[in-house]
A and B are shown apart, each in its own frame.
Chain A
Amino acid sequence: MNDNNTFIEIEYCQNVKNGEEACGDDYKTVELEDEERLITVLSDGLGSGIKASLLAHMTTSMAMNFVSKNMEIVKSSEIIMDSLPVCDERKISYATFTVVDVIHQNRVRIIEMDNPHFIHIRNGRDIAHENTVLASSNWPDRKLVVTDLRVKPEDRIVFFTDGVSQAGLGHRPYKFGWRREGCLEFIQECLHNHPEMSSRDLSRAIVSRARSINPGNRCIDDITCGVIYFRKPRRLRLLTGPPFKEMHDHDFAAKLVDFTGKTIICGGTTAQIISRELGREIKTNLFMKNKGLPPTSDIEGVDLVTEGILTLTEAARCLENDVPATEMAPAIRTMLNLLIESDIIEFIVGTKVNEAHQDPSLPVDLEIRRNIIKKLVHFLEKKYRKKTTIEYI
């Protein structure tokens, strides 16, 4: 992706049916970089719990395989239906799916089988599309709906399982469930209030609203929602470590001034240099409780200022192990939020050996800083598809 292109943010939010351990919905996303394709599949297995989960997993795996190899659609879906194990109770094998295949960032093919119809939203409007309905002669009841469409920057595609559209079913005021219309209205309201809402936040908002419509805020079914947001890339710059030569301090600090995205500084000495060069005061939040990590500071115009090595190490650990936000130290939560909400992340790493850290009593050195940054970059790219750069200064 070059800087002017669109960034495609795909995120899901999922809530498991109350009382079940396994989720009966499954999703997978794969990026085929050589073909500039991004494919995501969502499936809902019949029923709930382990059986449903198995059906859904098999479906997402097979569908992903067939679509990425460009196999014929009807044939592929026949293979899927033929191979799903038959449910003992209802004597049918059943899992629904939605496949979204994004090609070259702007062409999208959506294949749906029995999932609620997707929503394509542009400037707050639900865009209607022509589609083709296909059926296999072996499974005449199971219709495949294929839609080809083009997207523009700032468009979103939202799709979900019936845990969303049937939320509240049979209970006032949603006797017939929340339905696609109810969900659409809610999305429009969210985007009206927060036009830049990320896929992560929107999918969470939809799932939690669907849940709240159910009596007692319970998950009476598995609830899964996927959101794809074609957005202008959001940039973030993270500065850490003092520059190798002091004469570069000024240029280093300037990296924060002529930059329009979000900014993070990690490191006390780094913060001092920037404060001195820019003439902006540092205020350290001495009394902040930060779960055993040093407190953050504030510098005007910088989104987050933290201590260096300990904080970065902990951030990498939390990314690696998918630590839930509620268990993170406040500084880490803020940092990871900023990173995850951004699309292009530039690390600017000062390479001066910090004399204090050569003290053999402290197990810290410059290599550690480089290694932690590399680790962070690795997880941000692999787990969150971020584009990253590292500049050593």
Chain B
Amino acid sequence: MSKVHVKICVGTTCFVMGASELQDLEKFLPDDLKDKVEISGAACLGLCRDENYGEAPFVTVDGEPLSNATVNAIVDKIREKL
């Protein structure tokens, strides 16, 4: 089964707006998701400069942008994708 790919932006805007808390996402994942997710980082996803996308911090889940990202919101999004 292919994994869900989560990309966490740690660019200036996202980092200041809370992405530093998301760096440890892996630790906070519920056990049943742990081996179904692949996590990586991004230097800036470019979303912070685009009015169409809400507020930082941004992540993408299988390419789909998520604004105001929190651990819970990311987990929900991952479940949607599974």
Contact = CB atoms under 8 A, between A and B. Distances in A.
Q: Which of B9, B15, B56 has the largest count of A CB atoms less than 10 A from its CB?
A: B15
Given A294-B20, A295-B23, A307-B10, A356 B48 contact: yes
Contacts of A271: 43-44
Contacts of A310: 12, 15-16
Contacts of A93: none
Interface string B64-81: 000000000000000000
B49 A297 contact: no
Contact of B12 (A286, A287, A308): A308
A362 to B, nearest CB: 6
A294 B12 contact: yes
Contacts, number: 71
A359 B11 CA distance: 15
A275 to B, nearest CB: 8
Contacts of B56: 356
A135 interface: no
Interface residues of B, number: 22
A356 B49 contact: yes
A282 B43 CA distance: 8
Interface in B5-34: 8-13, 15-16, 19-20, 23, 26
A268 interface: yes
Interface string A270-285: 0110000000001111
Given A310-B16, A356-B48, A286 B43 contact: no
Contact of B46 (A269, A284, A297, A305): A269
A319 interface: no
Contacts of B19: 294
Given A271-B44, A305-B43, A284 B10 contact: yes
B46 A272 contact: yes
A266 B56 CA distance: 20
B54 interface: no
A99 interface: no
Contacts of B46: 269, 272
B3 to A, nearest CB: 16
A310 B41 CA distance: 18
Interface string A203-245: 0000000000000000000000000000000000000000000
B42 A284 contact: yes
5 contacts: A267-B12, A286-B8, A308-B12, A354-B49, A364-B12
Interface of A: 267-269, 271-272, 282-287, 292, 294-295, 297, 305, 307-310, 354-357, 359, 362, 364
Interface of B: 8-13, 15-16, 19-20, 23, 26, 39-44, 46, 48-49, 56
Nearest 3 interchain pairs by C-beta:
A268-B44, A286-B41, A284-B41
